Amino acid sequence: MGRPSFLFLEETLPMSATSVQTIRDDFPILRQKTASGAPIVYLDNAASTQHPWSVLKKMESVYTDRYANVHRGIHFLSEHCTEAYEQARETLTDFLGAQFSSEVLFTSGTTMGANLVAHSWGDKNIKAGDEILISEMEHHSNSVPWFQLAKRKGAAVKVIPLDDKGDLNLNAYKEFLNEKTKLVAITAASNVLGSYNDLETIVLLAHRADAVVFIDAAQWAPHQPLNVQKLGIDFLAFSGHKMLGPTAIGILYGKQTHLEEMPPFLGGGSMVKTVTNRGFEVAKLPEKFEAGTPPIVEAIGLAAAAEYLRQVGWDFIHAHLQNLTTRAHNALLAIEGLDLLGPADPIGKNSVLSFTLENVHPHDLAQILDQQGIAIRAGHHCAMPLHQRFGITSSARASFYIYNTAEEVDQLATGIRKAASLLR
């Protein structure tokens, strides 16, 4: 008697991303209103994006139709869930432009990716006197693990400065590179300034110095296509929740040659081939770095998010976000006493606008905007050194994504003016 087949929920994806409203209809949370009845204007996308129906339904279908633990079960549910889980890895291998699916590791996010590399590759390869390069624009998740590594090994962390526009000082970077440089850990795009870094040049120069490169792509992956092979990147990490996926899931890409030589970061189930009373034999990639029960449903949800972005199309995403960023850039610059951080030209900028408002604390501004249904971020955005570089302790940040509209940009500018008149 054959096994019964399951019927799974089919996702509804936009067939043609010609209308922002078509996309907005895919996000149920955007239908909500605030307690005052105002529609939600969600402009905190650099912190975390919202979720389309396709991601929500895909995750629900796993729980309701085929959930079981993966890899070790031989029963029907386990086999089908394992197939979906590993298919998610294949989808994300394509998303990254990686050569092998074994190079794509599921983690809890960018922070875990950096820590895995720091403890596994770093503890094996970094020694006293070596140097690690980071920049002034790094998120704390791409600085603290390297400071910790340097302290453990007696190495040094050198910080590449920014120019007054907020761009990475490439001349200083070139000067910092030497025979002591073993690792360059750099963000692909700033979560505060909205500026992109020249990854091709950064990687090329690092490799000429025989240094390994780790890229924090948390703010790149939602906005630009990735091709780790073309760029020659050694390690790259990003988080699912910043690109329409669930929380507690992310990707660490590593070149197979690196991953094969690295010791496992965590010990336990799944990451072993055999265990005896005398020790253990490590499993092959990628299981070697995925100890314990993996984030099964989250991984499948992340793959659904990557597929959604593929169907919307990078050309549409880039054009729409560029239009929103330019509109917001110009509208905010027209507000008296408002200073924008980052590049003066909005063209080519990531969809992040951080700013200060004269005589208004960012937290007060965020609270007044919240009363109008407008959600922004206020604080140091896990980038304290960057704020110190520009002589401030905190800033306000509005960040846009594919479901935001020109009308919402205008509401933001109006809301800031209203807050300024109330708070000054």
Place of tokens 């919402």: 408
The percent of residues in the chain predicted with pLDDT above 90, rounded, is 92
Give the predicted TM-score (pTM) of the model.
0.95
Out of 17-26, 103-112, 358-367, which region has the weakest mean confidence (pLDDT)? Answer: 17-26
Q: Which domains does the chain have, with CATH numbers?
A: 28-43+314-423 (3.90.1150.10), 76-310 (3.40.640.10)
Nearest to 192 by CA among 396, 376, 391: 396
In whole numbers, what is the pLDDT of the chain averaged over residues? Answer: 94
CA distance 30 to 163: 38
pLDDT at residue 1 is higher than 50: no
User: Among residues 172, 282, 382, 423, which one is catalytic?
Assistant: 382
Report the pLDDT value the prediction gives residue 314, as an integer from 0 to 100: 96
pLDDT digits (tens, 9 = 90+) for 242-291: 999 999 999 999 999 999 999 999 999 999 999 999 999 999 999 999 99
Q: Catalytic site residue 382? A: yes
Report the pLDDT value the prediction gives residue 8, as an integer from 0 to 100: 33
- 3-state DSSP of the chain: CCCCCCCCCCCCCCCCCCCHHHHHCCCHHHHCECCCCCECEECECCCCCCCCHHHHHHHHHHHHHHCCCCCCCCCHHHHHHHHHHHHHHHHHHHHHCCCCHHHEEEECCHHHHHHHHHHHHHHHHCCCCCEEEEECCCCHHHCHHHHHHHHHHCCEEEEECECCCCCECHHHHHHHCCCCEEEEEEECECCCCCCECCHHHHHHHHHHCCCEEEEECCCCCCCCCCCHHHHCCCEEEEEHHHCCCCCCCEEEEECHHHHHHCCCCCCCCCCEEEEECCEEEECCCCHHHCCCCCCHHHHHHHHHHHHHHHHHCHHHHHHHHHHHHHHHHHHHHCCCCEEECCCCCCCCCCCEEEEEECCECHHHHHHHHHHCCEECEEECCCCHHHHHHCCCCCEEEEECCCCCCHHHHHHHHHHHHHHHHHHC
- How would you class 346 by CB atoms within 10 Å of its CB: exposed for 0-12, middle for 13-18, buried for 19 or more? buried
Report the pLDDT value the prediction gives residue 72, as an integer from 0 to 100: 81
pLDDT digits (tens, 9 = 90+) for 3-17: 333 333 334 444 344
The pLDDT of 57-86, averaged and rounded, is 95
Report the pLDDT value the prediction gives residue 424, as an integer from 0 to 100: 79
Contact 364, 347 (CB under 8 A): no
CA distance 216 to 13: 28
Cβ atoms within 10 A of the Cβ of 63, count? Answer: 10
CA distance 284 to 270: 10
Report the pLDDT value the prediction gives residue 18, as an integer from 0 to 100: 52
The pLDDT of 26-48, averaged and rounded, is 93
Place of tokens 């509109």: 327
pLDDT digits (tens, 9 = 90+) for 217-239: 999 999 999 999 999 999 999 99
